[in-house]
Chain A
Amino acid sequence: MTDRVCVVGAGAIGSLFAAHLARVCEVSVLCRRAEHAQALRRDGLRVSGRHDFHVSVEAGVSAAELAEPWLVIVATKAAGLEGAVRALAGHWPGAAVMTVLNGLGAERVVRAHGSWPLISAVTFMSGTKHSDTHVEYILDTETWLGPWEDTPFALVQRAHDAIVAGGLEAEALPDLRPAQWSKLIFNATVNGVAALTGLRHDFHFAEGPLGELVHDLVDEGKAVARAADVPLHDDPWEMNVLATKRGHAHYPSMLEDVDRGRPTEVELINGSLVREARERDVPLPLHEAVYALVRGREASYA
Chain B
Amino acid sequence: MRVCVVGCGAVGSLFAANLAQLDDVEVWAYDLARDHVDAINEYGLRLSGAGEIRSRPRATADAGELPACDFGIVATKAMHTSAAVAAAAHAFRDGCVASVQNGIGNEEAIAEHVARVIRGTTFPAGKLVEPGHVQWDVKGDTTLGPFEPQPAPQDEIERLADACTRGGMPTRAVSDARGPQWRKLIFNAATNPLGALTRLTHGRVCERPDLRALVTGLVDEGKAVAGAQGIGLDADPEELIDHAARRDVAYEHKASMLQDVEAKRATEVDFLNGGIVRFGREHGVPTPLNGAIWALVKGLEASWTS
Contacts and interface: CB of A to CB of B under 8 A. Distances in A.
B294 interface: yes
A288 interface: yes
B48 interface: no
Q: In the complex, which range does the number of interface residues on chain B fall in? A: 20 to 34
A286 B292 contact: yes
A296 B299 contact: no
Q: In the complex, which range does the number of interface residues on chain A fall in? A: 20 to 34
A292 interface: yes
Interface in A210-256: 210, 212-213, 216
B214 interface: yes
A300 B258 CA distance: 12
Contacts of A209: 291, 294-295, 298
A289 B303 contact: no
A295 B210 contact: yes
A162 interface: no
Contacts of B302: 197, 199, 204, 210
Interface stretch (B153-161, B199-207, B242-250): B199-207
A41 interface: no
Contacts of B200: 296, 299-300
Contacts of A200: 306
B211 interface: yes
Interface in B121-179: none
Secondary structure type dominating chain A contacts: helix
Contacts of B211: 292-293, 296
Nearest to A301: B199
Contacts of A291: 210
A286 B288 contact: yes
A199 B294 CA distance: 15
Given A204-B299, A300-B198, 9 more contacts: A199-B303, A204-B306, A213-B291, A286-B289, A291-B210, A293-B197, A296-B200, A297-B198, A300-B200
Interface of B: 194, 197-200, 204-205, 208, 210-211, 213-214, 217, 288-289, 291-296, 298-300, 302-304, 306
Which 3 pairs from chain A and chain B are nearest by CB?
Answer: A197-B299, A296-B198, A198-B303
28 contacts: A196-B300, A197-B296, A197-B300, A198-B299, A198-B300, A199-B303, A199-B306, A200-B306, A202-B306, A204-B299, A204-B306, A209-B295, A210-B295, A210-B296, A210-B298, A210-B302, A212-B295, A289-B292, A289-B293, A292-B210, A293-B296, A295-B210, A296-B200, A296-B205, A297-B198, A297-B199, A299-B208, A300-B199
